[in-house]
Amino acid sequence: MVITKGRRAGGRALQYTALLGYLAFLAFPLVWLVSTAFKTSREMARLDPTWIPLEPTLDNFVQALGEQDIIGAAQRSLVVALASAVLVVAMALPASYALARHRSRLNAAALGWVLVSQVFPFILLIIPLFMILRQLGLVNSLAGLVIVHATFCLPFVLWMLQGYVRGVPRELEEAAGVDGAGRWRTLWSVVAPLLAPGVVAALMFGFVSSWNEFLFALILLKDPQIQTLPLALVRFTGPEGVVRLGPLAAASLMATVPSLVFFSFIQRRLKGGMVAGAVKG
């Protein structure tokens, strides 16, 4: 079957159209957030919504910044999310390697238990957890929140990473051993580059989980000076689902910047990690 240039170009155009449609779909929430953040209350309440604000205003930003410490809260959330993500990966990585490489019935049971631990509703655990953290002097501290976030994220990250470890052929490690590399050298030079995409994915998961987490932060952080972003954002909501949409959109928009920076940084590492494992040097 001969594929003509015209048909090839048509197919390409179709691909680009689909891609553009998909991008538009993905971008919609962000575009709508930006649009809403600059609208007046009257414009937001129109029956025929506008894409581009008719009378753009900064009032929502002024209100958001004036009423809540959005910038400070975003900084604290960034630090907590970064620390939680790194801590959980640091804990999960050796455990996942052990689970994946030293397989036994006990390991299967352990992995099952890890997943079961995810089904408990947080609200059941929060009171005993609170009391333990209070004994440790970690209530009302960001360190306590980091530990809690990392702990609750750990089972899923462990599950994720042991899958990545299993994806690294055991033969590569054996070949490195034959070439004279020691255990640590094998792990560092052979396994680690191949695991990099998984580690980055786990970091992303840990970061997002912690960045969005609300309930533990609400319970643990009492001092207004150390509260995180979800706590600041929820204050634009009232009883029975009533929302001050303008300031909430403005605050949310400002709050997305740190996470966008983080993801743009870590996304490059994700690509780098994929390539790094392709050739054994």
Partner 1 sequence: MRRITALPALALTGVLALSACGSGEGEGGPVQLRFLSLAWQTQSIEANERLVQEWNDTHPDIQVEYVQGSWDNVNDQLLTGFEAGDPPDIIHNESSALAGYAARGYLADLGDMLPQELKDDIRAEAWETATFDGQVVGVPFLQESQVFIANREVLEDSGVRIPTSEEPWTWDEFAEVSEELTTEDRYAVAWPLGSPVNRVLNLSLNFGGTFFEVAEDGTASMRVGEQEREVLQRIHEQLYEDETAAPETVGMSGSDPLPAFYAGEYAMIQGGVYTRQQVVEQAPEDFEWVTIPPLVGDTAEQGAVSQTLSVAADSAHPEEAAEFLSFFLSAENQVDLALGDWLLPTSREAAQAPELNTEENDWDVATASADNLVMAPYLKVQGFDEWKNRVAQPALEEYFGGAITIDELAQRLETEGDDVLGRYR
Interacting residue ranges for partner 1, rule: CB under 8 A: 41-42, 44-47, 63, 67, 79-80, 82-83, 85-87, 89-90, 123, 126-127, 130-131, 134, 137-144, 146-147, 192-193, 196, 199-200, 203, 214-215, 218-219, 222-226, 234-242, 244, 269, 273, 276
Nearer to partner 1 by C-beta: 47 or 278? 47
On whether the CB atoms of residues 232 and 251 are closer than 8 A, the answer is yes
Where would I find the H helices in 38-141?
A: 41-44, 59-67, 70-101, 105-116, 122-135
Q: How far, in whole angstroms, is CA 127 from its chain's centroid?
A: 26
Q: CB of residue 187 vs partner 1: minimum separation in angstroms?
A: 13
Could you tell me which residues are beta bridge partners of residue 169? none
Give the DSSP letter of residue 243.
B
| Cα–Cα distance, 200 to 134 (Å, whole number) | 33
Q: CB of residue 230 vs partner 1: minimum separation in angstroms?
A: 10
Q: CB of residue 144 vs partner 1: minimum separation in angstroms?
A: 8
Nearer to partner 1 by C-beta: 71 or 218? 218
Nearer to partner 1 by C-beta: 171 or 240? 240
| Cα–Cα distance, 86 to 203 (Å, whole number) | 6
Q: CB of residue 265 vs partner 1: minimum separation in angstroms?
A: 9
Nearer to partner 1 by C-beta: 26 or 143? 143
Nearer to partner 1 by C-beta: 28 or 214? 214
**265 is written with which tokens?**
């940084």
Q: Left (φ > 0), alpha (ψ -120 to 50) or beta: where does 240 sit? A: left
Residue with tokens 């449609």: 21
Q: CB of residue 120 vs partner 1: minimum separation in angstroms?
A: 16
